[in-house]
Amino acid sequence: MEKAIQELKKLKARKIFVQFGEGLKLRIQDITRQLEREGFDVVLCCEVCFGACDIREAEAEALGCDAILHVGHEKFLEKTKLPVVYWEYFLKANPCPILDKEFDKLKNYENIGLITSIQFVKTIPLIKNYLETKGKKVFVYKALQYPGQVLGCDLRAAKAIEKKVDCFLCISAGKFYALGVIFEVEKPVLCLDLERKEIYDLAELKKKIQKIKAWNRAQFNEAKRIGLLISWKKGQVKLPYDLKKRLENAGKEVYLLAMDEITPEKLEGLKLDFLIAYACPRIGVDDLERFTIPLLNVEDII
């Protein structure tokens, strides 16, 4: 927090627009009070924020704020109109009791790749040390700011060591990050879930999602009316005009459907046979079952 406050003071910011991940909701009021004690006026953005791709400059400006504080995320965009301060917000966790209890689940793997989200990067040395003292070989790759760190849409820390490892162990609260990795690598992905306090394999879930994807893919050729789902979130803006043209040349009716958070409710009433997600690549993984219209990520179609 110190560092973020220093940065905000250096910017001479007075009114701060605070964006934060859902996981920090329980802590955000304490954070607000701390910021207010430091002399800042605080506006909490209550729109869901999944990552630092979502920089709400227009909203912050409309409310007279002179800086954005992004809590729980690291820098994603190089250029922004308003200054953005990123506060990574590391969470304390002790994975050793979970490893003690669940170690047997790693017995078939000698070479283990570690990955995690920014919140838990501090646990990587601890886990590496633990596994090495138990005779495992541990691999960690630094693709982002910290060794082993991945984003929902940046899984290079896993990809880079895939050939060296027998499995990946993803340290996280919930399976969001591990779920991203299962479609990037062929090796088994196990989640060391700090919330559930257990280690579990995502192989079954991978099979289930693959089946949905295969079924959805099979619907594409017959689909006449296609919705291209796009978002104006600053880090997700991509304009699929070329794709639209190509699909139209192939005889489809195509609609560009722009929204903030992409949810099935917003499409109710529209006549569509197929959806292509063109914004956050996690839509076509995590949200597949939420949509009644077959959906795939653009990468799965072209």
What is the spatial distance between Cα 236 and Cα 215, in angstroms, rounded to a whole number? 27
Q: Which is nearer to ligand SF4, 83 or 235 (CB)?
A: 235
Nearest C-alpha neighbor of 167 from the set 138, 189, 139: 189
User: Smallest distance, Å, CB 280 to ligand SF4?
Assistant: 3
Among 40, 50, 87, 120, the residue binding ligand SF4 under the rule CB under 6 A is 50
Contact status: 282 vs ligand SF4 (CB under 6 A): yes
In sign, the C-alpha dihedral spanning 56, 60, 66, 67 is negative
- Using CB under 6 A as the binding rule, whether residue 236 contacts ligand SF4 is answered as yes
The pairing of beta strand 274-277 with beta strand 225-231: parallel
* Number of residues binding to ligand SF4, judged by CB under 6 A: 10
- x/- map, 121-160, ligand SF4, by CB under 6 A: ------------------------------xxx-------
Measured from the CB atom, is 115 or 199 closer to ligand SF4? 115
Of 27, 4, 16, which is closest to residue 63 (Cα–Cα)?
16
Report yes or no: 273 and 222 within 8 Å, Cβ to Cβ.
Answer: yes
DSSP string computed for 155-177: -HHHHTTGGG-SEEEEEESSSHH
Residue 168 in contact with ligand SF4, rule: CB under 6 A: no
- In whole angstroms, what is the distance from residue 164 CA to residue 161 CA? 5
Given 280, 293, 295, 296, the residue binding ligand SF4 (CB under 6 A): 280
- The DSSP 8-state label assigned to residue 61 in this structure reads H
Q: Given the rule CB under 6 A, which of 25-33, 50-58, 194-202, 210-218 is the region that contacts ligand SF4?
A: 50-58
As measured in angstroms, the least distance from the Cβ of 115 to ligand SF4 is: 14
Interface positions with ligand SF4 (CB under 6 A)? 50-51, 53, 151-153, 235-236, 280, 282
